Structures are given as C-alpha cells and as structure tokens.
Structure 1
Amino acid sequence: MSTFATGNLNQYIQFVERVYRTAQGNILARLLSLRDEHVLNRNLRSSDIASLVDGNCIAPLDEMITAHLLCVKALNMKDYMEAYEQQSACVAAVVRLLQSQKEENWSLPLMYSTCLDLRLVAQKAEECNPQSNGKILEKAAESLLACFRVCAADNRSSDADTKRLGMLNLVNQLLKIYFRINKLHLCKPLIRAIDSSPFKDEFSLAQQITYRYFVGRKAMFDSDYQVANQYLSYAFENCHRKSTKNKKLILTYLVPVKMLLGYMPTKQLLQKYDLLQFWDLVSVVKNGDLRGIDKVMEEHESFFIRAGIYLIVEKLKIIAYRNLFKKVYLVENTHQIDIASFQAALQIMGQEDVDSEETQCIVANLIYDGKIKGYISYQHKKVVVSKQNAFPPLTSI
C-alpha cells in the first residue's frame, strides 16, 4: 500500500517531515522513492515546488523533497536528463544527511532507495542520449561513491548503528553500473573493501548473492575460473528456487565456467532453465568435434554475444582439442605420437588449413595448461606423453 497516494503538497511535506523527525527510515525511503505510488499523485506536481517546500521544513530534507518532486515532474514530461539532474541533487542531499548523523544509521534505507533510483534514471537518460556513451552512468557512479565513502569512513567496528552496514548495497549498485559501461577495472577497490570488511557475513543474503554473481562474472573475464566457479556457485545455490529468471542468469555464466573446468552440465538442468544452447556445445566439446563447435557458435551467436560470453565459450575449443588428441593417443596406443597424426585429426575435424607448426603450438598450449602430461620432441616431430595419466582428468587440473 502506498504511503501517500492522495493528499495535497502541503500535507505531503508535513508528513515527510514528521517521518523524518521520528527517524522512520523505511517509510521515509518510500516517500522519496520514484517507485512508490505517490509519484502518480497529480497534487504533488505544483508549478512552483521549490518555493512551497522552502521554509516549510529543515535542511537538508527540504533539498531532498524539492529535488525528488522536480524529478517526478521531469519524468512525467519524459525529460530524462532533467530527471537525472534532480535525482543527483537528491542523492547529494542524502550524502549531507549521512555526514550529519554521527551515531546513527536509520537513514540507510533512504540511501538505498535514492541511489537505486539514480542508477535507473541514469540508465533511462543514457538510452535517450546514446551520444553520452556511458558518461551519464559514470557520473551517477560518482554520486554513489560519495555515499560509499561516508559509509566506509564510519569506523565503529562492532556497533549495530554503523553506516558500514550499507556498503554492500552501494557496491552492488556500482558493480551494475561498471559492468554496463564496461569499466570492470573500477570494480577492484570495491571488491577489496567488501572482502576486508568485518561485516561481510552480516550483509543480507540477497545482497551477498548479487555481490557474488558480479564478482564471479569479473573473475570469469579475468580467466580466474576457480574463483568464478566458487562465487557463481554460491550465488546459484543460495538464490531462491522460485527466482527462475535469476537462477537462469547465473547459470548463463556458471555453465561455461564449469565446462572450462571439466564439469559438463546435464541436459535436465539446461532444459529446466531453458539453456539448451549449452547442451549443443556439450556433445561437440566431449567429442573433440571442432567443426561442430564452429557450427554451434554460429547457430547461437546472438545468444552468446548478448550474454557477453562469446569469447569465453570460444575458449572451450581448448577442451575440444584435448579430447580430440586423447582419441588420437588411444588409437595410436603409444606414448610417442607423430605431430602429423594430431595434424591429420585436426584436418579431419574441419581445420583443413592447419600446418605442422600450428599443430605444435596447440599441443604446446595444452602441455602448458596441464591438459597433457608430456613434451614435444621437435627433432623427431613427435609428442612424447607420460606413460601414466597422459591426459589428466580436467577436474583435477
């Protein structure tokens, strides 16, 4: 139920101030949220909001109310840049409020709400101003960082009223922005701040799931697949079973990470979350079918690109090379295999232009990655593999 779906502007201002003076953070957050029903109340869209608010309530609450109502007005007129500017002013006033509250954190819900609104309005402004090229969202991130710095500076290590309990919510908002504008290097100090926080186990489960999802994705792009597996697995296992959409989103990144580590998903799991694009990959990777991988990549190209995993999925070729070369090893039944045998296998699988040097390079990479135990005898143009466990299980590497 809305906190103020009806009533005039003066009543709204008085109500907001009463809630503020009685430190009701959750209600105040709703009264200044762009997602609450009160934004549909036409009575709050006065032609002279600033003069009506000014003098009727204390600072910085007056600035928050003015900026919030002007933002609502701008959104109603579909002026998204103006809405963004007003929401930025609202968050700036929230920063001043947080700085003035030395021994309390009841206003954290207000910070969460206004910062979320700022990100969403900035996204809308970006969509309407494509020439911005991420600059609006980057500027919004600076506003969120101002809140983050206030929270991080609260040094009370064991106090339930510390503002540091609000850090993870802000970090998650910032991670969403940095992923959207492709500035992942800016995530590193935020991740370090959370991982070193004495409150990292006290944040809500929902916030921890979101955090691990983004950190897992960053680890995946950094080719740190063990860490990516750890974080994304936590996010998937702890995500509510009814949140099918979120579980599917997590799996979109967890599945290729698992496959790169040698764990192949079941068809039942992929069917359940409508991710059968990966099932087409599983069989061709297992069989070392390089031509098949190219076909699957082409068929589902738009899905892989849209998810931002095309280059990650392409790395599955290295697993396919390993599986193909293992077949050659089993057929040859010797620990000294001609490079020409591997080259012929590659050519049969559709890589007709591959030469001996390129084949040696592929084998060398597999040996370096620990996927083949052995060495290349360049003099004899042979691959000499270990007599024991020449192709270690991928899951043990």
Structure 2
Amino acid sequence: MTQRGDAAEPDRARPESPGPESPGATSPGGSFGAVPRETEPMVQLLAPSGERVEHAHFRFDGDDRTIAGLLRDMVLARRIDTEATALQRQGELGLWSPLLGQEAAQVGSGRAFGPNDVAFPTYREHGVAWAMGIDPLTLLGLFRGVSLGGWDPAELRFNLYTVVIGSQTLHATGYAMGIQRDGRVGNDDGTDAATIAYFGDGASSQGDVNEAFVFAASANAPVVFFCQNNQWAISEPTSLQTRVPLYQRAHGFGFPGVRVDGNDVLAVHAVTEWALRRAHAGEGPTLVEAYTYRMGAHTTSDDPSKYREDDELEHWRSRDPIDRVKTYLLGNQTIDQQWLDDLAAESDRLAEHLRRGCRELADPSLADSFTTTYAEEHAPLAAQAAEYAEYVASFGDPDAEVTR
C-alpha cells in the first residue's frame, strides 16, 4: 500500500484569534445584503500564480519539504478520485462522489489534525481520508455496495461516511460535548481534543447543521465546522441559498467564522490549525468556510453541463489547487522534473492498487447482516436469522447464498 507523506507539525506560538476587523473574520458590522462572493475578504497565503503572500493573522510555518508533502497528498488524492470515477463508468462502482478541485481544502485541513482530533465526514472527503490513513480501496467498498465503510473509526479517528445530508454535524457536536465532559479541553498537556464536522454549502441549509450550531454555541463545544463551499448544491448555486457569505452565519450563533481560500492548501492548513487550537483551549466552536469549487460533477449520476457555463469552469481551472503549489515549488527548486516523474509513477501504482483491489472486493453474505447489526444478541433478529437459514437450507445446497 502506498504510504502517506509527513504531516506538518502544528506551531502553538502563532497569533491568537483574529479580531472582527480582520479579513475573513466575522464582523458584527458586516453587510447583510447580497454580497458578491469573490469580493469578500478571505485568508490566502499562496496566490494562484504560485507566489507566497502575507496575512496579518495567519501564516503557514512548515518548510518547503512539508509543502512538497502536501503537493504529493493532493496529487494522489486526485488520482484516487480519477480512478474511482473511471471504475464507476466501467460498472465496477454504483456511484462515486468526485472531489476534483477540492484537494487543497481536504488535504490542508486533514493534515492540520492533532493526535486526538476526530473527523466526521460527508461522503466526499476522500482527501481527508487519505490524510488520516484510510486505505482508499476501503472507501470503494461503500460505493461498490459491499460494505458500509470498512475501517475502524475509533482507531483512525475518521468516522464512517455520512450520506444523510448534514447529520454528521450533530454527531460531531455530540462527540465534542463528550470530550468536554471527559475533561479533555483546556489542559495544554497533550490530552486536549476536538472534532471537525465536514459539510458542503448545500448542507448549510439543512436544519441539522443549524441545530448543531445552536448546541455547539450553547455548550461552547470543541468542534470545528468545516464547510467546503464548492459553489453548487448539486444544481443550485450558493447565491440562491444565502443572502450573506456562509462564514458570516457564525456570528448569529455567537462564535467566529472565517473564510479561507479553499484552493490554497497553506491557508487552509493554517486556519484549520488555528480553529483546532481554539477548540483545544476551551474557546468553543469555529466555522471555517473553505471557498473552493467543484470542477467535476456532484456525483457520477449528475451532469453539471446542464446548469453551469463553461467559462465559469475555466475561471476556476486557473485557480487549480495543485498547479499553484507545483509552480511555487518548481520556482524555488524544491522539486524538479525527476521528483514529479517519481510522483507520477507512485500515482500509477496507487491506481493499479485501486483497479485490482476493487474487482477483488468480496460480495457480502446476507447471513452476516444478522450478526453485524447489533453489538449484542438481539432476540427478534436472531429469530429472523434462523428463518433465513431455514430458507437457504430449503434449496438443498448448504453452501448456497440467497441474496433476494
């Protein structure tokens, strides 16, 4: 299995929370009319041209070798996505949710996790899963229909994919409240923990998400709400969902909101680290709006050409999260063509692992579902299992598996 790159170490000495007057922070005096989305200030540390830029309140302190590791993660996350999309087109997966264009938002935030932090994803956080150590082949099991997610959330601190839109934000908030009650905030002794709830701009309209905001604010829970605003809730643009930029919603619930350039892996990492430090210190929730773009389809059952223009897509191609990092690292000679060639070869090996492994994933046994539903024996389900066993036996082949 391909190994992951090294994660950047968090710097605990970076600036405190930005004041409300700072770019990207919630301001009580902010406009509450319809705001042109790209005119809103946002945290950026690496411009689309590949040039480093300064920000008054945030900085990325990793060295260029660490940035090269982030580039590697993004390239491999994109290859996972490319191969899974192809497998779906070949009939090997029932569905796939592409992440194309959102690699920086996912890798940057995933690499900012502390050793005790826990992720609550949607169904698109393939880059976060990679950063957290999930074998991407395991992700395919869900979309092939042979598992509900085959990894251990307790071991890997990455919960199972959530298809019900927005419900994971309540799960993350409840878990964070449990962290509080376990006394694992405000200690500064390596035991502090927090949760990150991932969701999209469309999910921000769900009642579950807003209820999670209320609970998190009321309990001052150590949770980071990480919204990947990719501009489209399937076929509905963000501009039809909200009259204010999404990060400003946090102010109404009583906690900070920050908009970050979601195609800038350095800025995403810095802002996520800051939000997690707030949570660890007992300062409560934060809403991070990663302003990015879904360059592909919502899922492989979607045709985005029916609802968005080609020039919009080209506008965002020029802001590709991988290209800007590659340009920066080539410019300062941290990497060269040989490095890129080696990465391409590694990417090919990962793709082969996915293609071969996907076809080898075992079909589930219907009989097993009776033993994996409850942790302890459940009498009604045990009776159903016995009935099913009798039904299978009626076919005269004790090894037969009836699936319908």
Same fold (TM over 0.5): no
RCO comparison, higher one (Cα < 8 Å, 6+): 2
Question: Where is the helix percentage greater, Structure 1 or Structure 2?
Answer: 1
Q: Determine which structure has the larger strand proportion and give its number.
A: 2
Q: TM-score, normalised by structure 1?
A: 0.25
- Structure 1 or 2, whichever has the larger Rg, is 1
